[in-house]
Amino acid sequence: MPKKKTKKNKNKQTKSFLRKDILSILDLNPNKPLNYKQIASYLKIKDKAIRTQLSITLSELVKEETLIEVQRGKYKLNQSKDYLEGTIDINVRGTGYVHVEGYDTDFIVKPKNLNNALNGDRVKVYLQRSGKNKVEAVVKEVLERRTNQFVGVLEVSQKHAFLIPNDANTNVDIYIPLSKLKKGRDGQTALVKITDWPSDAKSPFGEVVEVLESSDSLDTEAVSILTRLGLNYVFPEDVQAEAQRINFELDKEEISKRRDFREITTLTIDPVDAKDFDDALSIEFLDEGIFRVGVHIADVSHYVPIDSALDKEALLRGNSVYMVDRVVPMLPEHLSNGVCSLRPNEEKFSFSAVFDLNEKGKIIDEWFGKTVILSDKRFAYEDAQKIIETKEGDFKKEILTLDKIAKNLRKKRLSEGALEIASSEIRFELDEAGKPTTVYKKTTKDANKLIEEFMLLANKRVGTFLGNIQKTKKTPGVYRVHDKPDSEKVGQFATFISKFGENFTYQDDRDISTQMNKIFKKFKDDGEFDMIQSMAIKSMAKAVYDTTNIGHYGLGFEYYSHFTSPIRRYADLLVHRILFDALNDKYKAYPKLTAISKHISLTERKATEAERTSKKYFQTLYLQDKVGEVFEGIITGLTDFGIFVEIIENFCEGMVSLRDMKGDRYFFDEDAYEVYGQQYGDTYRIGQKVNIKILKVNPTRKQIDFILLD
């Protein structure tokens, strides 16, 4: 239940409402200047104190150029403002940051200027001066809600109820009339839908959709994460029914139309817990040191027709979502784990890229088309790695040959300017109840890189094939593009890496990746490596899907498309359809392809955020019984409100609030990229080792609070 407001807070609240209401009234009367009395009349303001506040607020809006005083005492909106559209992120303190495509920096939005925007919404904003040289944004309107459903805890009284959202970045509580509670009780966790947000209300109105399990339930937390991001976690009945009608048995007539690889040695190499097998590799040993390697991809497009219920749902989802303890698939499990999955000893339809190449990875010939395969064996990465290291095991000749070719492909790719990213990710061992018992970092080894290189090769060659056709014929394409780095962000990385004694200089855009690779190589065995690599990645543009090709900077490819994972990415399903048409000299138009590319870029970001949030939640579960314990950590981030520290022993990250730091007043110096004490000058920098004590752990808010020890 909302806390009682002090007089000061009431004034702030009144002022915030007045700003919003004034702008709404003038927006409804764009060509009619209104005076103070007319505005007060529209708003039905009779209270003398509020009328005084109205006058003050009008003057402030004129001063910041939101309003124009066209005549003495008559006001209208400043229509000369340029409006921008972007996505808003709101932090736990209620401050928003709007990202507008094409701008290098985000625009700050103060809480009073949010105009009912919630975290993740798409908004229209205008810019105004704030101080001498600062610019901030004001939300004009919410264009699209990221979601209108929220999970949280109910606070129920005799007269009304509120939902307190679990997400710390959702900066409002949701008012629920008692008639809309659906028997929800105080303290229960519920899924609530926003139904209205009146202009004069601080909180949106909502209704309970579903009362969930207890707030510490793993299922409830997963629903909370997915709902907050607007992600579907249950397939509609018509989609499930359509999937179930698809038969496992292969159509004999269709087999006759395809290139047959069932007699060719074919293997899959995947994570040990994988169930959806998108890809398989076949290998034939030809004469004169030539190898025929087939990259076989699940033929999802054969089973999912355009505009079917399955297709529409897959497009809506955009991709599968991988959380710590579960997968939310793009396609129902009957397809993703069954019909389409390239499981061992089962005949499967596939779409293949077949390469004749030598040991150095030089391509002699290539072929794309529909195939039928039979996987001989399923390897986990660990199994294949053991064969690579020991030179012993089933299909050792095939795996060792593929490994040798992959290493040469990788060597060539890096020599041509690709950025060398050594990926490692936090993983959890879970007990029978699904709770974490161990946290560790999993790094990629040769077996992972083997698969990665052949997938990159197939994606590159498919992208090149489509790109070359696009030059001569009006055929569409969906490319995975990655723009060159922004010089300002690279400059920020140079400032950051200088703290480690490195002078980062480069000759041109292409040389940036070369110089970064040198730094990665130098620090690869140091504890700061992950952080340095992370900061380098932050200086890069984000890879997205687009119908206009600009190349892929990070990989060093002129053309690149996603072709190899149609079970879990809609982009690949699109590319399969476009490629199949091109191979059959059909160059039809695909409507709304640009809009679809933007949509699946967005769903990809949502899936990444869901994965990151899920990992943060499981970190809090792991540390929940360790409050008060002391650990050594390394500083991984600095902000104007706190210092982020990762515990060296278990890779869990939390924050030390600057307000909780004793002995001095501490501030963040953005230019020097350090936190410093005002009186005694103590400084804290990225990469510095510190001792911390776990102060508080809140799984619901996914927050871990530390205090620094001397």
- For position 214, what pLDDT does the model report? 60
CA distance 380 to 58: 67
Task: Name every residue whose Cβ is closer than 8 Å to that of residue 367 and which is 6 or more positions away in sequence.
Answer: 352, 353, 354
CA distance 366 to 468: 15
How are beta strands 689-698 and 630-638 bridged, if at all? antiparallel
Reduced to 3 states (helix: H, G, I; strand: E, B; else coil), residue 337 is helix
- For position 15, what pLDDT does the model report? 59
Domain with CATH 1.10.10.10 in the chain: 7-77
Domain with CATH 2.40.50.140 in the chain: 83-144, 627-709
- pLDDT of 433-447, one tens digit each? 999 999 998 888 999
Task: Name every residue whose Cβ is closer than 8 Å to that of residue 241 and which is 6 or more positions away in sequence.
Answer: none
| CATH fourth-level superfamily of 83-144 | Nucleic acid-binding proteins (2.40.50.140)
CA distance 621 to 699: 6
For the purposes of burial, counting CB atoms within 10 Å of the CB of 174, is it exposed (0-12), middle (13-18) or buried (19 or more)?
Answer: buried
State pTM to two decimals: 0.82
CA distance 138 to 46: 28
Q: Record the tokens describing residue 262, joined without a space.
A: 């069932």
Q: Record the tokens describing residue 22, joined without a space.
A: 């004034």
CATH number of 149-215: 2.40.50.700
The class level of CATH for 7-77 reads mainly alpha
- pLDDT of 4-52, one tens digit each? 334 444 454 455 677 778 887 887 777 788 898 889 888 888 888 888 8
Residue with the two structure tokens 């659906």: 182
How are beta strands 479-481 and 630-638 bridged, if at all? unpaired
| CATH fourth-level superfamily of 627-709 | Nucleic acid-binding proteins (2.40.50.140)
Alpha-helix runs per DSSP H in 546-663: 570-583, 593-623
Low-confidence stretches of the chain (pLDDT < 50) are 1-10, 12-13
